[in-house]
Structure 1
Amino acid sequence: MDFEYSDEQQMLADSLRRYIDEQYTFEQRRKSAVATGGFDRGIWNALAEMGVLGLNVPVAFGGFAQGAESQLIVQRELGRGLVAEPVIPCAVMPAAVLDAYGSEAQKDTWLPRVATGESTLALAYLEPASRYDPRNVRCTATRLDDGYMLDGRKSLVWHGACADGWLVTARAGDTVALFLVPRDARGVASKDYASMDGQRGADLHFSNVKLPASALVGTVTSGLDALEHGLDHGIAAQCAQASGAMERLIEITRDYLNTRRQFGQPLAAFQALQHRLADMLVQKECALSMAYVAAQALGEPDACKRRRMVSGAKVTVAKAARHVGQQAVQLHGGMGITDELSVGDYFKYLTMMDVLLGDTDYHMERYCAAMID
C-alpha cells in the first residue's frame, strides 16, 4: 500500500479539513446533535457533494470507485473533526455490501441514492442476546410462495432511526440470510435513543413483515459472508477515524500544556508531562499503522488472513484509543471532564470505539479462531 497521498487524495483531505475547520465547529456539532440527533441534512448533503458518501460506490452507479486508501484518508479527516453524521454506518458499510452481493436491481435502486445522500441504509444484525456474534440470530425469515415473512428483533442498530432501509440478518432454515427491508414496510417498529458519545442507536421490531423475493441480498446461504464483508469495511473505516480523532486530541492537549501555567512556567516544561504526551503520540502512530493494515486487509483474498488483519487492527486501535483518551483527560485536570472543552467529546468517542462493531474480547476470539482455521 502506498502511504503517500496522491494529488487528488491530498486535495480531498485538504477540502475536508477546511470544511470542518470553517463550517463544522464544535458549537455547530453540539447544536446539530441536540437539534437533529446527529443527522443534519445540510451537512449530509455537503459531504455528498465532496464525494465522501460515494467514495467507494462504482462509477456506473454515480460514485467515484476509490479504494480503501482513499477511504482511510477521508475517515481520518472526519475523525479529526469528530463528525457525528453517520458516514460509516449509513454509507460505507451498506455500499460495500450491496456492491459485492446486491442484485442489479438493488444496486440500481440504492447505490446512486446512497452516493448522492438522497437515501441511507443501516446494518441490523445485533440482537439482545447475540453478544456481537453475527451467527447468533433468532430473527426468522419464513419462506412464502411469493417471498418471505420476517419476524424478530434487532438491537443497537447504529443510526438505524435515520435510515430509509435496513440490511437485516434473519435465520432462513439452517442458514443466515440477509434482506433489504425498506423503512415503510408494514409491520416494522423502531425505537431511537442516544448513546454515550452522542451518536444514535435504534431497536427494531419486525412483526409479520412480508418481503418480496427480490429483498434477498445475495443468496440464502451468503448472508453471513455479505455481513462480514460490510463489517470489515466498517471496522477499517472506524480504525482510520479513531486515528484521526487521536491525532487531533493530542494537538489539543499539546496546546493546553503550552498555555496552562503552573509555578511560573507552562505545564509543557515539566518533563514528566512531556513523557506522557510522547506516550500518547506513540500510541497514535501504532493505531495509524494498524489502520493501514485494516485498509490493506480489505483486498486480501484469504478470508482467514483478512479476519486476522482486521480484528488485530481493531484490538490495537481500541487499546490506543483508550490510552490517548484517558491521558488527555488527566493532562487537562478537572477541565478535562467539563463540557466547556472538547476533550470530553473526544474521550467519549474513543471509549465507545471499543464496543462499536465488536469489542476487544470478541475480536480476540475472532483472531484466534482465524489462526486455527
Structure 2
Amino acid sequence: MDMTFTMEQKLLRESAEKMFQGAPLLARLNIDHPDGYDTRLWSQIVELGWLAVGIPEEFGGIGGGAVETAVIMEEVGRNLLISPYAMSAVATQAIVHLGSEDQKALLAKIAAGEMQITIADVEGPEYGHTTVATMALDVGGGYRLTGRKTQVQFGATADAFIVSANLHGTLSLFLVEANAEGLSLNSSHSLDLGLVSDMDLDGVELQAGSLLGKPGEGVSNLRMLENRAIAAACAEASGAMQALVRDTVEYTKTRKQFGAALSTFQALQHRLVDMFIRAEFARSMALLAAFEVGRDATSPEADHVCSAAKYLVMEYAKINAEEAIQLHGAMGMARELPIGHFYKRIVMLENLLGCGFVHLGRMIEVANAA
C-alpha cells in the first residue's frame, strides 16, 4: 500500500501547522472554556475548511476522506487541541454514506460551520453495540425514541445527533435534532476539560425521514463510523506522542543533575530513543488505519487494522506519556507544562471507542470469521 501523502494532503498539513503557530500551546492551557473548547480557534477551523473535508463537492464540501482527516488530527494531537472536530467529521460521514437526499442537504451547513453534529451510541461503561436498550417504535408514519445515552462528545453544543436504537429487534440509526421535544442533556467537563453529556430520550417523536440508512443495518453502519473514529483518534494520539518526544528531549537538554545535562546520561538516552521508536511505530499504525479506512471502512481488513491500531497506538501512547512525566520529574505534572495535559488527553482517547481488551477481542472475532 502506497502511504505517500499527495500534494493536497501536504498543503492541508501545512495550513494546520500555520494555524497553531498563531495559537501557542502554553497560552491555551488551563483555560476553562464554557463550551469545552476554544471558540476562537473553532472559527479558524471553519475558515480553513476543515469541516468541509470528507464532504463531496456537490454538497458544499471539498472532498477527501479518512486520510485527510488523519492529517488534520495528527496536528490536532501535536498541539493538544480539544474540540468537536473529530466527532463531527465522523458523524458527518453517516450522512454522506447513509443519508437521504433531504438529509444530505444538511451537509452544506456542516461544511460552512453553521451546524454541529455528533454521535450518541454509548449507553454504559461497557462499550459495544449488542446491548443497546434505547427503543424506537413505529408511530403513525414516524418513530418514537425512548432511552438514555452516555458519554456524548460535545453534545451540549451539537445541533443534531446520530442516535442508535432498537427498531423491530434490530439496531438502526436515526438523525435527531438537538431541539427535539423530549430530548434533554446533562453536561459536564471530562478529564481533559472537554465537554461530555448524558442524553435522555423521553418519547422523542421523529418523522419517517429521520431514519439513517436501512432499518436493521445499525451494527454494520456503526462499525463503519467506529473505524473512521478510531483512525482519527489514533492519528491524534500519534501527534501527541511526537510532541511528548519533542518536549522531553528539549527538557533533558536543559535540566542538569550532578553538574551535567540529563540528556548526557546514557540510560536516559536509551529511554528517549525508546520513546522515539514507539512514536514512529504508532504513527505508522495510525496512517495504516487511515489508509485502510479510506479504501473501505466496512471491510474485515479495516476492522482488523483499526482494532490493532487502537490497541497498539494507545498502549504505546500511554507508555510514552508516563515516561515523559517521569523524565520531567515533578514538573511533569505541573499545570504550567503541557506534559500532564497530554497524559490526560491520551487517557481519554484510550478509553474512547472501547479499551484495549475490547479491541483484542474484536481482532480475534475478525480472525475467526476469516
Question: The TM-score by the shorter chain falls in which range?
Answer: over 0.9
Deviation at 1:135, TM superposition (A): 2.1
1:211 maps to amino acid: L
Match of residue 281 from structure 1: 276
- The answer on whether the counterparts of 2:234 and 2:286 sit within 8 Å (CA) in structure 1 is yes
Q: Distance in 2 between matches of 1:333 and 1:58?
A: 48
CA root-mean-square deviation: 1.5
Match of residue 164 from structure 1: 159
Match of residue 126 from structure 1: 122
1:29–1:98 CA distance, 2 compared to 1 (3 A): farther
- The answer on whether the counterparts of 1:80 and 1:245 sit within 8 Å (CA) in structure 2 is yes
Match of residue 345 from structure 1: 341
What are the residue-to-residue correspondences of 1:176-187 with 2, within 5 Å? 176-187=171-182
Deviation at 1:24, TM superposition (A): 4.6
1:98 maps to amino acid: I
Give the structure-1-normalised TM-score. Answer: 0.95
Q: Distance in 2 between matches of 1:105 and 1:24?
A: 41
1:358–1:266 CA distance, 2 compared to 1 (3 A): same
Q: Distance in 2 between matches of 1:25 and 1:346?
A: 11
2:350 maps to amino acid: D
Deviation at 1:29, TM superposition (A): 4.7
Match of residue 368 from structure 2: 372
Match of residue 94 from structure 1: 91
Give the length in aligned residue pairs. 368
Q: Distance in 1 between matches of 2:21 and 2:127?
A: 35
Spell out, residue by residue over 1:186-220, the C-alpha distance to the aligned partner (whole angstroms, 9 max, x if none): 00110001111222211000111100000100111
- The answer on whether the counterparts of 2:227 and 2:297 sit within 8 Å (CA) in structure 1 is no
Match of residue 71 from structure 2: 73
What stretches of structure 2 of length at least 5 have no aligned partner?
Answer: none
1:89–1:302 CA distance, 2 compared to 1 (3 A): closer
- The answer on whether the counterparts of 1:45 and 1:116 sit within 8 Å (CA) in structure 2 is no
What stretches of structure 1 of length at least 5 have no aligned partner?
Answer: none
Pair 1:250-2:245 in alignment? yes
Deviation at 1:317, TM superposition (A): 0.4
Identical residues among aligned pairs (%): 34
2:184 corresponds, among 180, 185, 189, to: 189
- The answer on whether the counterparts of 1:321 and 1:353 sit within 8 Å (CA) in structure 2 is no
1:308 maps to amino acid: H
Spell out, residue by residue over 1:41-98, the C-alpha distance to the aligned partner (whole angstroms, 9 max, x if none): 33222112112111111111111111332222111111111111121112x2111111
1:259 maps to amino acid: T
Deviation at 1:234, TM superposition (A): 0.9
2:314 corresponds, among 318, 333, 352, to: 318
Q: Distance in 1 between matches of 2:324 and 2:35?
A: 26
Spell out, residue by residue over 1:97-123, the C-alpha distance to the aligned partner (whole angstroms, 9 max, x if none): 1111111111112x1122121111111
Spell out, residue by residue over 1:227-277, the C-alpha distance to the aligned partner (whole angstroms, 9 max, x if none): 221111111011111101100111000100001111111110000110001
Deviation at 1:301, TM superposition (A): 7.0
- The answer on whether the counterparts of 1:29 and 1:84 sit within 8 Å (CA) in structure 2 is no
Spell out, residue by residue over 1:278-303, the C-alpha distance to the aligned partner (whole angstroms, 9 max, x if none): 11111111111111221122123773
What are the residue-to-residue correspondences of 1:187-336 with 2, within 5 Å? 187-298=182-293, 299-300=295-296, 303-336=299-332
Deviation at 1:174, TM superposition (A): 1.5
1:4 maps to amino acid: T
- The answer on whether the counterparts of 1:325 and 1:351 sit within 8 Å (CA) in structure 2 is no
1:229–1:302 CA distance, 2 compared to 1 (3 A): closer
2:97 maps to amino acid: A
Match of residue 7 from structure 2: 7
Give the structure-2-normalised TM-score. Answer: 0.96
- The answer on whether the counterparts of 2:159 and 2:177 sit within 8 Å (CA) in structure 1 is yes
Range 200-209 or range 43-52, more displaced: 43-52
Deviation at 1:8, TM superposition (A): 2.7
Deviation at 1:3, TM superposition (A): 3.5
Q: Distance in 2 between matches of 1:122 and 1:168?
A: 9
Range 111-120 or range 3-12, more displaced: 3-12
- The answer on whether the counterparts of 2:60 and 2:111 sit within 8 Å (CA) in structure 1 is yes
Q: Distance in 1 between matches of 2:309 and 2:242?
A: 17
- The answer on whether the counterparts of 2:228 and 2:297 sit within 8 Å (CA) in structure 1 is no
Q: Distance in 1 between matches of 2:155 and 2:90?
A: 13
SS in 2 for 1:358: coil
Q: Distance in 2 between matches of 1:61 and 1:178?
A: 21
